Structure formats: structure tokens, C-alpha cells
Structure 1
Amino acid sequence: MTSTTLEPTSAQAAPPRPKPTSAFSAWANRHRKWLFAAPAMIFVAVLIIFPLVWTAWLSLTDSHGSVRAAAKFIGLQNYATVLTDTTRFWPAVGRTVLFTGVVLVFEVVFGMCIALLLWRPFKGERWVRVAVLLPLVATPVAVGMMWRLIFDPNIGFANQVIGWFGIPPQPWLAGQETALWTTMFIDVWQWTPMVALILLAGLTSLSEEPQEAAKIDGASTWQRFWFVTLPLMMPTVIVAILLRGIDALKTFDILYATKGKGGGSFNEVETLNVYAYGLSFDYNQYGVSSTVLILFFLLIIGVMWALTGRRNKKKEA
């Protein structure tokens, strides 16, 4: 009897052994999310670090006239000059802080009111949303030019309106005492919708259970907002303050579009941004301008640190 040897078929063949994974491949697989994001992160880091380092270096020199001209290293002399300047620098710091603080208060308060209005569905809600978002459509320069015409003391529509009520014409942007407050109004008009959108997103993410429980306990509408909604919304409110606060600190386009060089003839709306711009492009004092920008950068970092710390405390609580 002859024995027959059966050859294995393709279906019966042993599965191929997996190739050994190299150490680099294993490491890359574990850190793939960072590797994919690394090019973008490096690109952004270069865009931020190089200008910052270059500006810091210029602040330690007497660079002026031209950025290509030879500059002499003078150490902290520019910082001493700027920090003792009570004519332009410190008034600009005061206006920057005042401008940011005032617009933040009004934008957060009005933004919360708008967000609460849009929180619940109502008839015509779509049209109201479109109307609320209209100020965000135009660029800040266009908004500044539009309000400059509206507040013109001679042909402006604003003085015509208040004239209907027997109020005498106001200087608005032309007055030393009213110019800064008028630019604050313009900023609030344009950027309140953005704050409202952030707060509305936070409101829509809240659970309905705390509201229902407070309503069953007999809490009024104001009590439900103050003791239930607002505490739950505080992390979102702090985020809105952080985002809008940093942007308000850096406001330049509206101020320059409405008042021009130097923030007006008497520097009435000259903030740190406008001051640094004038030093660079009007007087070509690049070393002093870089010093102002570095100090401005430190101010922004301080505000971010304070608000971020406040947010972390709220999370821990």
C-alpha cells in the first residue's frame, strides 16, 4: 500500500509571522498625535519667538532712523527712559487699562443680557440673531470710519438725534474729555456680539435640572439667574473675559481710524499700541518703541496669568 503525502493548500498554510517592530516605530506610534502636530507647532513657535527675541534685542539698543543702520547696545537705558516718562508713557498705560476695563464690563454685561435673550426660543429669533451679529461683519477700520462720520460735530447724525430732544451738540470724538469714552462706545458696539456668542454657547450647555429644581423651590427669575445660572456660567464668563480682555488691550484699528496719529492732537486716545506705533513709524525710534512693546507684552502676560489663575480657582471650587 503506497502512502500518499498531502501538500498543504493555501488555506492550510501557516500565517506569516509579523515583522518585528523597531523601537522608533513603537515610539512614533505612541506619540503620533504630537508628531502630526509638531510641524504646525514649530511653525507657530518660530513666528512668535523670532519677533519677540528681535524686539527684546532692539529694546536694548539705540536703534533709530533705520532698522538697517548700526545700533549701539545701551542695556536697560531705554527702559529707564520709558518708565520715567510721565508725559506720554504712563498716561498711555492709564488709558489702556481704563479702556480695557470699561469695555470689558459693558461687553460682558450686555453680552450676558443678549445671551439670556437668545437662550430660549421665541418668535423672530432668527432675525434677532442676524441683527445682533451684524456689527461683527464689518472690519474695525470700516466701523471706525462709519462712527467717525456719525459723530462728526458738524454733519454727524448723532448730534441731529440729540438735537431732537433739545440737547446741544456734543464734540464726541473731537473733544479731549469725550473722545476716549466715545471710542469705548464704538468698541462695545462692535464686540459685544462676540462675547454674547461665547456666553450663549455656555448657556446652551447647561443642564436644565438645577433650573427646574430652583423653580420648584419657589425661586424667582432673578434668584435663579443669580444663584444658579451665574455660578454655573462663571468658567465661561472668565473665558470670555480672558479672550476679549487680551483683544481689548491690543486695540489699535478703531483708535487709529477715528483719531489718527498719536491718538488725536492732544493724545486723548493714545494707548500703548498707538504710542508704540507712533514711535516706530512717525519718529523711527525703534529702540524705544521696542521697549514699550516689551513692557506691553509683560502687561498682557500679567493679565493672562491673573485671569487664568482665577479660572483655575473656579474649577477647583
Structure 2
Amino acid sequence: MQQATSAAAEAHLAPGLPLRAPSYWPFVLPALVVVLAIIIFPWLFTIWMSLHEWKVGSPTTFVGLANYLRLPSDPRFAEAVAHTVIYTALSVLLPLIFGTFAAVVFHAKFPGRGFLRGLFIMPMMATPVAIALVWTMMFHPQLGVLNYLLSLVGLPAQLWVFHPATVIPSLVLVETWQWTPLVMLIVLGGLAAIPTEPYESAQIDGAGIWQVFRYITLPLIMPFLFIAAMIRVIDAVKSFDIIFAITQGGPGSASETINLYLYSVAFIYYDLGYGSAIAVIFFILIVMLAAVLLYLRQRTAWTEIGGGA
């Protein structure tokens, strides 16, 4: 029996004999159906809607690119783009700064370091709606704890999210509080991977704390900071839940980002065609932004201590 089996195997693998390709379709087909149903079809349908004038309760009318041509002349859309840029820039820069500082502090060995690390990452594990409700109470001009803390140091009370000039910085404060721990965890991984030899050499040369950080630590953790920045940029540019739960884009439209304007157009004014056009443009912007960040990440050389981009 074994000889017959081996002979059959040799005959099957003999050169010149055609090999029958295995069929993978029974295994691939379910996943393909799921991808088509969940991802591809909704986007194709969104593109189809963006080419039509479609308001709830009215018949659809094909308008071509009219919805897209309407965007540059829409002042509210331009305002939402500006709010998105400002909110994203601050929501990326501040967590990077504070997260790097926290990572350097928690990388040092001191009693209770593990417990404090766990306590520090708790904001990242909370749900956005719960965070929004807590911070809404803290932002209250009369009853909020933030104005009470300002009064203790002699500073005047602020309107926080209830004034157009301070609403975006206040929302960035919430974003920074929630996502600084994520940057800290990423940078901690980079600090753990740094060899000890450069620090020993710097100690022998008499380098100070700032010099060690500037010329050794910062260049070596730069790849990890870049990854953290990529994650924060993509997450902040499409932020919705925190802003909607706290301000709903207000006061007026002072904190209305592209995501919130899209929601208002599609689900408050029921202009599904124009809302779909905004969704398509917003998706293209996110994809382009992610592609640029990935390109920069691949083009950046991290080879030497003190090496830059």
C-alpha cells in the first residue's frame, strides 16, 4: 500500500504532467460577499446618491456634479473645514507634547510607577459619551468645577464651550485629556527599545538632562512619535462623538467640523444628495491624508542618533 501511494505521488509530481490548481473560491467567496455588502456597496450607493438631488420625501433627480460644484461656494462648509483643521492640529500637537513628557516621567524607576501608569491610562478606556457628560458638567459657567478652580488662583471665570472664541480650545482640552495616554504608551515602547550605551556615554561626557533628551532620546523615539501622530491625525480629523455630545456644533456653528456639518445636512436638513457629496469629499481627504503620512513615514530614514527626517 505504501509503495503504491508513493508511486502515485511521484507520478503526480513528475515533470511534464499538468498540475490541477486548487480551488480557493469556496473559502474566499464568503469574505468577498461580506466585503461587498458592508464596504463596497455602501460606498457605491453613496457616490450614486451624491450625483442626485435627493431630499427625504421627494423623488430623486440626477444632477451630475452639481452637488460637488456647490461645495466651494458654501460658506458653512468652508467654515467647517477651517474648524476641522484647527481642531485636528491642536488635538495632535498637544497629546504629542504631553504624552512624550509623561512617557519620559513614567519610564524612570520610582515606587508606585506601575499603579500610576494604570491610573494615567484610564481616560483612554472611558466611553466618549460618558467623557462628554462629565466634561459638560465641568464646563458649566456657574456650577462647573473648572471655574471654581480658576477662582482659587484668582483668575476670572470662563464660558468654555458656551462661547465661540473658547469652544474649540475647550474641546481640544477634552481630546488631549483622553488621548495623551495613547501617545504615552507608544512612546514608552520606544523608550524601552533604546539601548543604554548612548546614555552611559552621555553621562561620561557630562551631558545635562535637556541635552540627553534633545540629542539622544528625542531622535531615537521619533519613529514612535511619527506613528502616534499618524494615529492621532486620522482619528482627530474625523472626530464626531465628543464634539456632538458636548456642543452639537455650537454655539451657532462655532465648533462645527466637517463630520458634524455632514450629519446636519444629511440627517437634520434631509438633503441626502448634498450630504453624500460631502461624505465622498471627506473620505477622499482622509485617504489622501493617510497616504501622505504613510509616504512620509516610508521616506524617512531613522538610522543614526541625531538623524532627522
Q: TM-score range by the shorter chain?
A: 0.7 to 0.9
Figure out how many residues of one structure are paired with residues of the other and give that number.
Answer: 296
Q: 1:45 Cα shift?
A: 6.2
**Greater Rg over alpha carbons, structure:** 1
Moved over 4 A (4+): 13-16, 35-42
The equivalent position to 1:220 in structure 2, one of 202, 208, 212, is 208
Other-structure match for 1:73:
62
Matches within 5 A, 1:51-130: 51-66=42-57, 70-86=59-75, 88-130=76-118
Task: Provide the rounded CA distance (Å) in 2 between the counterparts of 1:206 and 1:39.
Answer: 44
Q: 1:41 Cα shift?
A: 7.2
**Per-residue Cα deviation, 1:113-146 (whole angstroms, up to 9, x for no partner):** 1111122332110221122111012111110111
Q: 1:295 Cα shift?
A: 1.4
The equivalent position to 1:285 in structure 2, one of 271, 282, 291, is 271
Q: 1:83 Cα shift?
A: 1.6
**Per-residue Cα deviation, 1:7-50 (whole angstroms, up to 9, x for no partner):** xxx9xx8584153368346x68xxx9xx9888657744653322
Task: Provide the rounded CA distance (Å) in 1 between the counterparts of 2:28 and 2:44.
Answer: 24
Amino acid at match of 1:77: A
Q: 1:112 Cα shift?
A: 0.6
Unaligned runs of 5+ in 2: 304-309
Change (3 A) 1:131 1:297: same
The equivalent position to 2:156 in structure 1, one of 143, 158, 168, is 168
**Per-residue Cα deviation, 1:224-276 (whole angstroms, up to 9, x for no partner):** 2222222222221111111111000111111111112xx11411110000000
Matches within 5 A, 1:155-234: 155-234=143-222
Quick check: 229-238 or 72-81, which moved more? Answer: 229-238
Q: 1:299 Cα shift?
A: 1.6
Native 8 Å contact 2:223 2:302 kept in 1:
no
Quick check: 265-274 or 38-47, which moved more? Answer: 38-47
Change (3 A) 1:152 1:214: same
Amino acid at match of 1:56: I
Amino acid at match of 1:23: L
Native 8 Å contact 2:50 2:277 kept in 1:
yes
**Per-residue Cα deviation, 1:79-133 (whole angstroms, up to 9, x for no partner):** 11112112x1001000001000011100001111111112233211022112211
Native 8 Å contact 2:162 2:251 kept in 1:
no
Other-structure match for 1:253:
241
Please state whether the residue corresponding to 1:228 is helix, strand or coil. Answer: helix
Unaligned runs of 5+ in 1: 1-9
Task: Provide the rounded CA distance (Å) in 2 between the counterparts of 1:315 and 1:43.
Answer: 39
Other-structure match for 2:286:
300
Amino acid at match of 2:187: L
Please state whether the residue corresponding to 2:206 is helix, strand or coil. Answer: coil
**Per-residue Cα deviation, 1:147-193 (whole angstroms, up to 9, x for no partner):** 00011112111111212223222111111111111011011111111
Task: Provide the rounded CA distance (Å) in 2 between the counterparts of 1:316 and 1:237.
Answer: 12
Other-structure match for 1:309:
295
Native 8 Å contact 1:234 1:314 kept in 2:
no
Change (3 A) 1:125 1:286: same
Q: 1:64 Cα shift?
A: 1.1
**TM-score in terms of structure 1 length:** 0.85
Native 8 Å contact 1:264 1:270 kept in 2:
yes
Amino acid at match of 1:128: L
Change (3 A) 1:230 1:135: same
Task: Provide the rounded CA distance (Å) in 1 between the counterparts of 2:36 and 2:206.
Answer: 54
Amino acid at match of 1:169: A
Native 8 Å contact 1:78 1:291 kept in 2:
yes
Task: Provide the rounded CA distance (Å) in 2 between the counterparts of 1:289 and 1:196.
Answer: 37
Quick check: 153-162 or 46-55, which moved more? Answer: 46-55
Other-structure match for 1:267:
253
Q: 1:210 Cα shift?
A: 2.8
How high is the sequence identity, in percent, across the aligned residues? Answer: 35
